[in-house]
A and B are shown apart, each in its own frame.
Chain A
Amino acid sequence: MFKLDRKLKTLAISVLFALSANAADYISSHTYDFNGKKVIDGGVYYSIVNGKTGPYYVNKNVDKYSYKGNWRLATKNEVAAWDKDVTPTQHPPKGHGTVEEGEELYEAQCVMCHGDFGSGGGGYPSLSKGNAYKLHKSLKNQRYPDPEADGPQRVFGTYWPDASTMWWYIQSGMPHPNTKSLSDNQTYALTAYMLYINELRVDGEVAGDDFELNQDNFLKIEMPNKHGFEPVIDGPAGQENARKYFNNWKNFGTPKVKPSKRCMKNCQKKTAKVVRIPEGGGIKDFLPPISVVRDIPKKEGAFDPKAAYGDTCAACHSGFLSPGSADWAGYTGKGMDKVLANAISGTAGGMPAKGGNADLTDKQIKMIIDFMVSGK
Chain B
Amino acid sequence: MSKKPNENSEASSRRDFFKKAAVSVTALAGTSLFASGTSSSKDDPAIMHHPKWGQKLGDPVTKNRYGIPSAYEHNNIRRNTKLLASGNFQASIAVCPIHESEGIITPNGLFFSRSHGGTAHIDPNEYRFMINGLVEKEIVMTLDELKRYPSVTRTHFIECPANGGQEWRGPQFNSLQFAKGFMSSAEWTGVYIKDIIKDLGVKKEALWMLAEGSDNSEMGRTVPMDKVLDDAMLVWAQNGEALRPEQGYPVRLLLPGWEGNLCVKWVKRLEFAREPFYAKEETAKYTDLKPTGKAIQHFYANEVNSTVTHPSPEKPWANQNLKKGDLVEIQGLAWSGMGTITGVDFSLDGGRTYKKANLKGLVLPKSWTRWSYMHVYDGKPLLLTSRAMDDAGYIQPTIDQETSIMGVEAVYHRNAVETWEVTKEGKVNHVQIRS
Q: Identify the A interface with B (CB < 8 A).
A: 22-26, 28, 30, 32, 34-35, 37, 39-46, 54-56, 59, 61-63, 66-74, 78-79, 82-83, 85, 87-89, 113, 122-125, 139-144, 147, 151-152, 154, 156, 159-162, 164-165, 168-169, 172-173, 176, 179-180, 228-231, 233-236, 238-239, 242-243, 245-246, 249-259, 262-269, 271-278, 281-288, 290-297, 310-312, 314-315, 348, 352, 356-359
Interface pair A161/B398, CB less than 8 Å apart: no
Minimum CB–CB distance for A118 against chain B, Å: 13
Interface pair B63/A292, CB less than 8 Å apart: no
A85 to B220, CA, bound (A): 10
Q: Does B43 contact A (CB under 8 A)?
A: no
Binary flags per residue of B1-13, CB closer than 8 Å to A gives 1, else 0 = 1000000000000
Which residues of A are found within 8 Å of B345, using beta-carbon distances?
Answer: 262, 264
Interface pair B434/A275, CB less than 8 Å apart: yes
A46 to B413, CA, bound (A): 23
Interface pair A26/B226, CB less than 8 Å apart: no
Given contacts A24-B340, A43-B337, A43-B338, contact A228 B295 (CB under 8 A): yes
A23 to B343, CA, bound (A): 9
Interface pair A83/B218, CB less than 8 Å apart: no
Residue of B nearest to A241 (CB): B298
Interface pair B409/A141, CB less than 8 Å apart: yes
Interface pair B224/A24, CB less than 8 Å apart: no
Interface pair B363/A24, CB less than 8 Å apart: yes
How many residue pairs link A and B with beta carbons under 8 A? The number is 422
Closest 6 pairs (CB-CB, A-B)? A43-B338, A124-B87, A253-B405, A24-B340, A41-B301, A356-B56
Q: Does B296 contact A (CB under 8 A)?
A: yes
Which residues of B are found within 8 Å of A359, using beta-carbon distances?
Answer: 52
Interface pair B72/A72, CB less than 8 Å apart: no
Interface pair B409/A143, CB less than 8 Å apart: yes
Which residues of A are found within 8 Å of B71, using beta-carbon distances?
Answer: 296-297
Given contacts A40-B227, A66-B199, A252-B413, contact A290 B314 (CB under 8 A): yes
Partner of A168, one of B171, B276, B280: B280
Interface pair A83/B269, CB less than 8 Å apart: yes
Binary flags per residue of B336-357, CB closer than 8 Å to A gives 1, else 0 = 1111111101010011111100
Interface pair B178/A286, CB less than 8 Å apart: yes
Interface pair A294/B80, CB less than 8 Å apart: no
Interface pair B342/A140, CB less than 8 Å apart: no
Which residues of A are found within 8 Å of B57, using beta-carbon distances?
Answer: 312, 315, 356
8 A-B contacts (beta carbon < 8 Å): A54-B364, A78-B130, A143-B408, A154-B284, A253-B406, A272-B435, A277-B429, A312-B57
Interface pair B280/A287, CB less than 8 Å apart: no
A292 to B74, CA, bound (A): 9
Given contacts A264-B354, A283-B81, A288-B77, contact A59 B150 (CB under 8 A): yes
User: Would you call the interface of chain A mostly helix, strand, loop, or mixed?
Assistant: loop
Q: Does B166 contact A (CB under 8 A)?
A: yes
Interface pair B293/A25, CB less than 8 Å apart: no
Interface pair A348/B230, CB less than 8 Å apart: no
A67 to B149, CA, bound (A): 7
Partner of B170, one of A37, A69, A147: A147
Interface pair A44/B392, CB less than 8 Å apart: yes
- 18 further A-B contacts with Cβ under 8 Å, apart from A63-B198, A85-B271, are A43-B392, A44-B338, A83-B269, A123-B82, A142-B291, A160-B284, A165-B278, A165-B280, A176-B216, A228-B294, A236-B207, A238-B276, A242-B224, A256-B395, A259-B389, A267-B347, A283-B81, A356-B55
Interface pair B304/A254, CB less than 8 Å apart: yes
Minimum CB–CB distance for B339 against chain A, Å: 4
Interface pair B338/A70, CB less than 8 Å apart: no
A194 to B327, CA, bound (A): 62
Minimum CB–CB distance for B407 against chain A, Å: 5
Pick the most buried of A82, A257, A271: most chain B CB atoms within 10 A of its CB.
Answer: A82
Given contacts A44-B391, A259-B343, A267-B352, contact A229 B304 (CB under 8 A): no
Given contacts A44-B392, A139-B289, A253-B402, contact A230 B297 (CB under 8 A): yes
Interface pair A268/B339, CB less than 8 Å apart: no
Which residues of B are found within 8 Å of A236, using beta-carbon distances?
Answer: 207
Which residues of A are found within 8 Å of B102, using beta-carbon distances?
Answer: none
